Structure 1
Amino acid sequence: MTIVATTLKHRLPTTIRTQRLVLVTPTLAHAPAIARLANNANVHKWMARLPFPYALSDAEFFVNEIVPSNEEFCLSILHDDDYIGVVGLHLHPENLPELGYWLGESHWGQGYATEAAEALVAAARAAGATALRSRARKDNAGSRHVLNKLGFIEIGEETETNGNLAGQTMILMRLELDQR
């Protein structure tokens, strides 16, 4: 049994601290950093819903419209007060919550995605979620490695039909939270 998406969103913390990171609700003060990091072709190529080029107005739309929506739970990832990316859950009422994240390219390969995602998975478990899903492009070994380290298992493949990744083969993944 899964928790209704809006109930889960309101049970999740607005701030999470890890050993190296602080995860906080995105604000307009973060918008310039979001725009700077997201306006990168190497970040964009892995993202299903990130527009490109990515302008300040896109970051402001994200903070003002996406973050407060009932279908999204988003946290900014900060390292030493430096904005480095986003981690969140897409809360579709007919599916399990979907874990997603992105980091600015200069922050790749340092364990930040794993640390942030692990913290959000623990918060989702504490809030009552029993399972999560995620997906990554088949050729995105880095993201698939992060998800595997968190305990996600690959459950299938599908061809993306919408957004930036239309036509790409996606690996579908699932994590049972009540069994860990």
Structure 2
Amino acid sequence: MTAMRSALPDLIRTERLTLRAPAITDLADLVALANNWQVVEPTAVMPFPYSEDDGRAFLATIGDADTPRAYAIANGDDRLMGVVSLKFAQGKAPELGYWLGQPYWGKGYAPEAATGLVQAASASGIAEINARVLESNAASIRVLQKAGFTIVEHTHSVVERHRGKPLLIMAWRAP
């Protein structure tokens, strides 16, 4: 688990994006983008409202072996647009998670970031990645499909925010 996490590169570049460690210099953009119910609602664990304290708490965990390996999704000006991550748990495939600030929706950034992380994970020896998405979140399902994920299970959410709602388990597997 820790070996897989640490095998990931510190920096991932895609055609338009840089995936890098979130930093304290991202705090203002992090709070401004994440303090939006439309961004937070489909996520399992992001708090709302999202405060500066929440941003500082998130940034304090970057690099901790027991937290997801998070990458800031940054544009050409190195401004934070969102976050993409892999969560590692013993005996399970890593789980992809992401969110993107609303001003960046609909421009292909989320699938580009997800694909970039999946390709880096594959190059690091990770052969399978899972993701959970609400069945009602068509945009996120498309993001995952564009990144090579397929639906492997229909179930229901157990997280408090979405308890009982239809949920899809999607998986990417190395070719």
Fold match by TM threshold 0.5:
yes
Task: State the match for 1:92 in structure 2.
Answer: 89
Task: State the match for 1:132 in structure 2.
Answer: 129
Q: CA deviation at 1:20?
A: 0.6
Task: State the match for 1:15 in structure 2.
Answer: 11
The alignment partner of 1:95 has SS state of coil
Bigger Cα displacement from structure 2, 52-61 vs 62-71: 62-71
Task: State the match for 1:58 in structure 2.
Answer: 54
Aligned match of 1:154 in 130, 151, 154?
Answer: 151
Task: State the match for 2:24 in structure 1.
Answer: 28
Task: State the match for 2:36 in structure 1.
Answer: 40
Structure 2 length-normalised TM: 0.95
Q: Which runs of 4+ in 1 moved over 6 A?
A: none
Structure 1: gaps of 5 or more residues: none
Aligned residue-pair number: 174
CA distance in 2, matches of 1:128, 1:69: 18
**Residues 41-89 of structure 1, C-alpha deviation per residue, up to 9 Å, x if partnerless?**
1011111010000001101100102552433100001112221000010
* Structure 1 residues 67 and 161, CA gap change in structure 2 (3 angstroms): farther
Structure 2: gaps of 5 or more residues: none
Structure 1 length-normalised TM: 0.92
Q: CA deviation at 1:13?
A: 0.8
Amino acid in structure 1 at the alignment position of 2:148: G
CA distance in 2, matches of 1:66, 1:167: 31
* Structure 1 residues 38 and 164, CA gap change in structure 2 (3 angstroms): same
**Residues 65-114 of structure 1, C-alpha deviation per residue, up to 9 Å, x if partnerless?**
25524331000011122210000101111311001110001100100001
- Matching of residue 70 in structure 1 with residue 66 in structure 2: yes
Aligned match of 2:117 in 116, 120, 135?
Answer: 120
CA distance in 2, matches of 1:146, 1:67: 26
CA distance in 2, matches of 1:163, 1:154: 23
**What's the Cα RMSD here?**
1.2
